[in-house]
Structure 1
Amino acid sequence: AKTFVIAAPARCPVNPTLLKDDARCQPCPGNNTLWLEDKTCAAKFVQTKSGHNLTQNSAETTTVTAKAHDRITYKLSVTNKGLNAEKFTFSDNLGDVLQYATVVDAGGGTLAKDTNQSASIDATILSWPAVEIKPGESQERQFTVQLKDQIPSMGTGTSNATSYDCRIDNTFGNTLSTKVDCPAEKRVVEQVVTELPHTGSSENIIFAGIVLAVVVFFYARSRQLSTEIRLVRRNFNAGTI
């Protein structure tokens, strides 16, 4: 009698538990010795951020003090240092940035409210549509903000010490911190308040209000004197006095 030897079916080289012709028998894009569904075959996104003050000779934002009207361009970079392709959504929280600036070029992104903050009123999240990033591939997005015409003199928040603190802090992988040229009266009042004795909050507020009024008065008076001096010089040169 003849005997027949039936060859064993070919097995998947990256996962022997599967047949070679199984649709799931796929190698990992970043390492063809790994199975596609191996837990180590995954994307690994590395995020970095940079910023340049266009108004001040494109200096890095962390090296200069931002002033009213300054334009700053931020660049968001993402590199997939993993082994598999995966979709990534660029998203940047501009809550601190928008206290002192407005977005003038969203770079194709959309500004929306923060859905994680139930009390969120303003749109502070700038995001772009999800994009697939392959292993070793990098993607970039950028946007531009402009500091307001008048830097707000609002006091630093009591519940949030980073609110209106004369700094713009923004994080996307790394954190960029930019000094802001706040009005002199804000700095004077806040310095006085920090040095006040620990009395009631009402007394501190009243005293701070008095200090602010004095600062504003002398500031306005100095501007008035400058105007009067210019008028006297003009009349003198014209020979009217």
Structure 2
Amino acid sequence: MFKKLLSNLPFNPSLIGKVSFYAKRLHKEASVRRLGLAFLLLFLGVQIFAAAIPTQPSVASSGNDMFPGGFANQGDAVNACNSNTYDFKTILNYFGIDCISLYAGQVRRIDYNEYGGQLYSMGRIPYGFASEVSVSIPNAGTYYMRPLTSWGDHCYNDGHNCEAITGTRADGTPFMVLLGCGNITIVGPPAPPPPPPPPPPPPAPNKLIACNALLMSVNEGAKVKAGSSVSVRGRAVGQNLPPNELVDMYYYLVNESGSVVASQEAKGIPFDGTLAQDNTPRVFTLEKAGNYTFLLAVKTDGSTVNAFGNFEGDCVKHVSADTQKPCEEAENEDDAEVCLVLNKKATNQTQGIEDANGTTAKAGDVILYRLQVTNTSKNTAVNDFVVEENMADVLEYADIVDLHGGTMDANNIVRWPAIDIKPGETVEQQVTVKIKDPIPQTPVASTAPGSFDLTMTNVYGETVNVKLPPSVPKTTEQVTTSLPNTGPGETLAVGFVAALIVGYFFARTRLMAKELDVVKSEYVTTGGA
């Protein structure tokens, strides 16, 4: 139409009216296209802004997960093992599981009642269950295992959380790795680490010098009062000895835990034939109550020979002092920490509630946690005791206001400097938090029912629960294993293409309108000449 009007205008001047009408229509069309281009550019700007800001996860990841967020499939778990992400490979190796076993495992649904309900699942956070066991893994940290039955029917009713990679450990027992959280599951509680191998026996010397007897001022196995003194003397025998041979004797007093309490030396004892005897009594004081052992070792030419290689026979003597336990629960005098009683109390300072356990707090409320440790012993102090508190569950809904002298690490564990607690003394540490405003409404994660449950749970000797009001209805979270392959890249590409097309038509319409205005202006000015 544009070309037709311009080509026929010199032959038919009456077409100037249609030119004016077409020019007005083009101006209106240019306005519409300009508005469309503006909206499209605004949309494109929103997409660029959305792509520049990282999205927040919609699925709550519990701090108890061994692998935050879990695995989408078996391949993700194998890749995490090979790269040792979150020390995953180190932890697997501790339980006799390697990446090949994980790759060869079978993915299936497990029942928490399998193996007679003896499945134990590992997590990063203690929950205070009765059968919970802590496990210290070198180069990884301390983790906590509790029966899978502790979670109740939650695991069994939720399909994805109970999908697990199953296989066999190095010792032939089964293992499971839960896909929903990466938590390692084994049959039964973890076994304690094996004791270190005994040292190899020393090489036999050419000449033989050994302990012969240990003489004690009291009878073998005698009981004496704490603070009493006991003297000992030693004898050594030798064979194939050179003339004027001397021997050194070493006396050790060892407590029932195997630690050396005191030691004495007798150097340069001469042999009379094949026998060397220390005639000087060596006096030891049994300052504390308990069971003690006297050991005699003999040494010559840089070698120590203890009763033909072992502390046995007459070279070992036993004696005990009156046991005075710190408290009835203690097994021995050094077991003083068992006398400590841990208590905890939460106070809602905003609402004036002295005992906030079981109450409902509001957004912005200030909660004071008071941790009390009481030494119930009447005679023994506990030295260098460290009060520590796990605040992971509390910090899901609150912020720290004051640690009152404590420090918090990356795992949200607060520790205070070591202190000495006298008999009968009670010490107290405090943590002040403030409820977030607004209260987060993150849905409960299928991987950890105790996380984001609108309850601040805290365990220190006893469990303290502070409830929070929900502001929106909570729904059960559904976890999918795959999502559409879309993202900001595809959206930005479509937006740029659309902007180019709309911009092209807008510029074209605007140019045509200007050209018609020029034609009409020149035609009116020249009269069509």
Output the TM-score relative to the length of structure 2: 0.30
Structure-1 residue corresponding to 2:230: 18
Structure-2 residue corresponding to 1:78: 373
Task: Give the Cα–Cα distance (whole angstroms) in 2 for the partners of residues 147 and 39 of structure 1.
Answer: 43
State the Cα distance separating 1:24 from its structure 2 match. Answer: 4.0
Task: Give the Cα–Cα distance (whole angstroms) in 2 for the partners of residues 112 and 158 of structure 1.
Answer: 26
Task: Give the Cα–Cα distance (whole angstroms) in 2 for the partners of residues 99 and 73 of structure 1.
Answer: 16
Task: Give the Cα–Cα distance (whole angstroms) in 2 for the partners of residues 59 and 86 of structure 1.
Answer: 30
Answer 1 or 2: higher relative contact order, Cα 8 Å, separation at least 6. 1
Deviations 1:28-78 (A, max 9, x none): 9xxx96368995223121100001100111342124211110000010000
Structure-1 residue corresponding to 2:182: none
Task: Give the Cα–Cα distance (whole angstroms) in 2 for the partners of residues 127 and 181 of structure 1.
Answer: 30
State how 1:87-98 maps to structure 2 within 5 Å: 87=383, 88-98=385-395
Deviations 1:149-190 (A, max 9, x none): 211010011110011001010000000011111222xxx241
Task: Give SS of 1:163's match.
Answer: coil
Task: Give the Cα–Cα distance (whole angstroms) in 2 for the partners of residues 36 and 78 of structure 1.
Answer: 19
Task: Give SS of 1:170's match.
Answer: strand
Unmatched tracts of structure 2, length 5 or more: 1-216, 232-282, 291-320, 481-529
Output the TM-score relative to the length of structure 1: 0.62
State the Cα distance separating 1:136 from its structure 2 match. Answer: 1.5
Please say if residues 400 and 432 of structure 2, whose CA atoms lie closer than 8 Å, have aligned partners that are also in contact.
yes
Structure-2 residue corresponding to 1:222: none
State the Cα distance separating 1:97 from its structure 2 match. Answer: 0.2
Deviations 1:99-120 (A, max 9, x none): 0001101011111123xxxxxx
Task: Give the Cα–Cα distance (whole angstroms) in 2 for the partners of residues 139 and 18 of structure 1.
Answer: 39
Amino acid at match of 1:134: K
1:112 to 406, 409, 421: 409
Please say if residues 229 and 286 of structure 2, whose CA atoms lie closer than 8 Å, have aligned partners that are also in contact.
no
1:156 to 409, 427, 444: 444
Matched, 1:141 2:429: yes
Please say if residues 71 and 147 of structure 1, whose CA atoms lie closer than 8 Å, have aligned partners that are also in contact.
yes
Matched, 1:128 2:416: yes
Task: Give SS of 1:61's match.
Answer: coil
Matched, 1:34 2:323: yes
Task: Give the Cα–Cα distance (whole angstroms) in 2 for the partners of residues 189 and 127 of structure 1.
Answer: 34
Amino acid at match of 2:445: G
Matched, 1:66 2:278: no
Q: 1:36 to 1:189 in 2, by over 3 A?
A: closer
State how 1:49-64 maps to structure 2 within 5 Å: 49-64=344-359
Structure-2 residue corresponding to 1:170: 458
Task: Give the Cα–Cα distance (whole angstroms) in 2 for the partners of residues 161 and 107 of structure 1.
Answer: 31
Task: Give SS of 2:350's match.
Answer: helix
2:399 to 102, 106, 124: 102
Q: 1:189 to 1:181 in 2, by over 3 A?
A: closer
Task: Please give the root-mean-square deviation of Cα atoms over the aligned residues, in Å.
Answer: 3.2
Task: Give the Cα–Cα distance (whole angstroms) in 2 for the partners of residues 183 and 18 of structure 1.
Answer: 74
Higher-Rg member (1/2): 2
Q: Percent identity?
A: 31
Q: 1:112 to 1:105 in 2, by over 3 A?
A: same
Please say if residues 103 and 145 of structure 1, whose CA atoms lie closer than 8 Å, have aligned partners that are also in contact.
yes
Task: Give the Cα–Cα distance (whole angstroms) in 2 for the partners of residues 16 and 152 of structure 1.
Answer: 65
Task: Give the Cα–Cα distance (whole angstroms) in 2 for the partners of residues 24 and 109 of structure 1.
Answer: 39
Q: 1:94 to 1:15 in 2, by over 3 A?
A: same
Amino acid at match of 1:148: K
Task: Give SS of 1:98's match.
Answer: helix
Task: Give the Cα–Cα distance (whole angstroms) in 2 for the partners of residues 68 and 179 of structure 1.
Answer: 11
Task: Give the Cα–Cα distance (whole angstroms) in 2 for the partners of residues 141 and 173 of structure 1.
Answer: 14
Amino acid at match of 1:34: T
Unmatched tracts of structure 1, length 5 or more: 1-7, 115-123, 195-199, 203-241
Number of equivalences: 173
Amino acid at match of 1:156: V
2:341 to 40, 46, 53: 46
Task: Give the Cα–Cα distance (whole angstroms) in 1 for the partners of residues 451 and 356 of structure 2.
Answer: 19
Task: Give the Cα–Cα distance (whole angstroms) in 2 for the partners of residues 189 and 79 of structure 1.
Answer: 41
Task: Give the Cα–Cα distance (whole angstroms) in 1 for the partners of residues 445 and 456 of structure 2.
Answer: 14
Task: Give the Cα–Cα distance (whole angstroms) in 2 for the partners of residues 146 and 59 of structure 1.
Answer: 16
